[in-house]
Structure 1
Amino acid sequence: MSEQAERSERDDHVVLGKLTSPYGVKGWLKVYSHTGPMDGILEYSEWVLRQGSSLSRHRLLQGRRHGKGLVALLEGVDSREAAESVAGAEILLPKTELPQLEGDDYYWHQLEGLTVVTRDGAVLGRVAYLFETGANDVLVVKGDPQGEPPAIDDRERLLPFLPDEVIVEVDLAGGTMTVDWDPDF
């Protein structure tokens, strides 16, 4: 697959989770979900599976909680051997199928790549990724003085995603996030 095709594929889909391993002998698979709540992944009736550079579509026939995790049965996966062949695949969803959010709610993928700027105009870098803690989500902002626009340094900063406290404004169209943050911290 060409680099441009891979970039387009990444731009068009969001990763919802991963098929980890077979469960039983009838094609069921254990599922690791990135959605919140965990079983929100089961609300999507069709999954796009990515294994390496290949994509395949599968209808979700059944899914349920099992212990602390999830298990699912997909159309066309009806034996342990078939389940083994798709184990390890990422579960994708076209971004166009995500529910519309209201107000100041954002999907994480919308925040990744935004340029982070302080109220005073200092460029801290770009949002590399986010992670969840017990209290709040955290932005990982990586500085790049050679980037466009250039950051003030090459530090990695962890900023709490706290709207109206740390996060002043999110401008998805402009590709920026304004924060109330001391660059020395």
Structure 2
Amino acid sequence: MHDDATGDVAMSDGEQHVVLGRLTSPHGVKGWLKIYSYTSPPEGIFDYPTWILSKRGEHHSRRLLDARPQGKGLVVRLEEVDTRELAEQWAGADVLVAKSSLPELEDDDYYWHQLEGLDVQTCDGTWLGRIDHLFETGANDVMVVRPCEGSLDDRERLLPFLPDDVIVEIDLSAKRMVVEWDPEF
């Protein structure tokens, strides 16, 4: 729910959001901003016409007016941001969209936000910890599994996200992932 006059957003409306990128710095003098996109491909962030900008606990809805690749990065122009000074105010803001606006995936595909928070255990039932976050390496995505109450030890583990080799089962409803992994590694 938002107030169209100001673009302020009430984030307590029950709608869940996911961060798709971050505005990094102004680009030029007409309000354009550089953006770091967490989507794959990076230009996928342009598929969402309305963004919620989150900075210092404040949330504002802004329509995406224009977007393009620029050099090795991406730049965007947002409604109500038409000067360098206004763009500077939004540098560092996270870009969120409603989870409900994300496209449906095939049965064996997952968004990273769906995997974050899953408990990870080996095939023999050894609990390794919980997925904190994922990152790309080029060859494959990597899951950062951090220890938590009840896990085998206090070690952080980096596990490759390889559904055919390492991942045995993902059960989103049980918030659990089973892996073929040596706990000593």
Q: Give me the TM-score of the superposition, normalised by structure 2.
A: 0.91
Quick one: which of 128, 131, 139 aligns to 1:127? 131
Tell me the CA shift for residue 175 of structure 1: 0.5
Instruction: Tell me whether 51-60 or 135-144 shows the greater mean CA deviation.
Output: 135-144
Cα deviation per residue 1:122-169 (whole Å; 9 max; x = unaligned)? Answer: 00000011111111111111122xx1xx11111111111100210000
Letter in 2 for 1:181: W
Corresponding position of 1:178: 178
Structure 1: tracts of 5 or more residues without a match: none
1-structure distance, mates of 2:88, 2:157: 40
Aligned to 2:145: 141
TM superposition shift of 1:74: 0.4
Q: Which whole-Å CA distance do the structure 1 matches of 2:140 and 2:179 have between them?
A: 16
Q: Which residue of 1 aligns with 2:22?
A: 18
Unaligned 5+ runs, structure 2: 1-9
Partner of 1:165: 165
What letter corresponds to residue 174 of structure 2 in structure 1? G
Matched residue SS, 1:14: strand
The equivalent residue for 1:32 is 36
- Give the structure 2 partner of residue 57 of structure 1: 61
Higher helix proportion (structure 1 or 2): 1
Q: Secondary structure at the match of 1:106?
A: coil
May I ask how many residue pairs the two structures share in their alignment?
176
Q: Tell me the TM-score normalized by structure 1.
A: 0.91
Shift of 1:25: 1.1
Kindly, what percent of the aligned residue pairs are identical? 61
Deviates more, 1:59-68 or 1:92-101: 92-101
**Aligned counterparts of 2:104 and 2:49: Cα–Cα separation in 1:** 17
| Counterpart Cα distance in 2 of 1:70 and 1:151 | 41
What is the rounded CA distance, in whole Å, between the counterparts of 2:71 and 2:33 in structure 1? 14
Output the amino acid matched with 2:138: G
SS of aligned partner of 1:135: coil
CA deviations over 1:49-105 (Å, ceiling 9, x no partner): 001110000000000000000110001111111111111111011111111111210
Q: Which amino acid aligns with 2:173?
A: A
Q: Distance in 2 between matches of 1:175 and 1:167?
A: 14
The residue that corresponds to 2:154 in the other structure is 154
Cα distance in 2 for partners of 1:157, 1:27 equals: 42
Aligned equivalent of 2:4: none
Moved more, 86-95 or 11-20: 11-20
Q: Where does 1:97-116 land on structure 2 (aligned, <5 Å)? A: 97-116=101-120
SS in 1 for 2:182: coil
Question: Is 2:135 the partner of 1:93?
Answer: no
Q: Does 1:70 align with 2:79?
A: no
- Deviating beyond 6 angstroms after TM superposition, the runs of 4 or more aligned structure 1 residues are none
